[in-house]
Amino acid sequence: MLGRILPAVVASIALAACATITKGTTQMVALDTPGVPGAKCTLSSSAIGQLNVVTPTSINLQKGSENISVRCTKECFNDGVGVIGSNVEGMTAGNTLVGGVVGLGVDAVSGAMNKYNE
């Protein structure tokens, strides 16, 4: 009996440590231009391509290791530029220990090992 349960428990722990499963491959990010509502913003990176939004907004972005460039414009205002930084998710180290190279590889390919700045 223990011979059947132990592998299932180990497998479930390994899967739970995988950022692809626990954190997902997308992330909601809020974008605002304080004092300038209705600004048209273009977000661009290799992970998301190029997206156009109007502020204020929240958008579900595909995670990636590359920062997202942001350029906002509105008539009668100076253009604004910024960056949504991408960092490595904290659970990546734990996944390396528990999920090994396979878990780390899945998280890297899916983008789940990354997290955009709030």
Query: Other CB atoms closer than 10 Å to residue 4's CB: what's the count?
Result: 7
Strand ranges, E, within 7-112: 26-31, 40-45, 49-54, 57-62, 68-73, 80-84, 86-88
pLDDT tens per residue across span 2-29: 455 555 544 444 444 454 455 678 899 9
Radius of gyration of the chain (CA): 19
> Greater confidence, 86 or 101?
86
In whole angstroms, give the CA distance from residue 17 to residue 90: 11
| Residue environment code for 8-27, b if the CB has 16+ CB neighbours within 10 A, otherwise e | eeeeeebeebbbbeebebeb
Q: Give CA–CA dist 22/78, Å, rounded.
A: 41
Is pLDDT of 90 > 50?
yes
Q: What is the pLDDT averaged over residues 85-92?
A: 72
The larger pLDDT score, comparing residue 107 to residue 65, is at: 65
Q: What is the pLDDT of residue 47?
A: 83
> Which pTM does this prediction carry?
0.67
Residues 6 or more apart whose CB falls under 8 angstroms from that of 66 comprise 45, 46, 47, 86
Q: Are 41 and 31 in contact (CB under 8 A)?
A: yes
Alpha-carbon span 13 to 40, nearest angstrom: 44
Residue 92 pLDDT more than 70?
no
Longest C-alpha distance within the chain, in Å?
73
Per-residue pLDDT of 32-43, as tens digits, reads 999 999 999 999
pLDDT of residue 14: 46
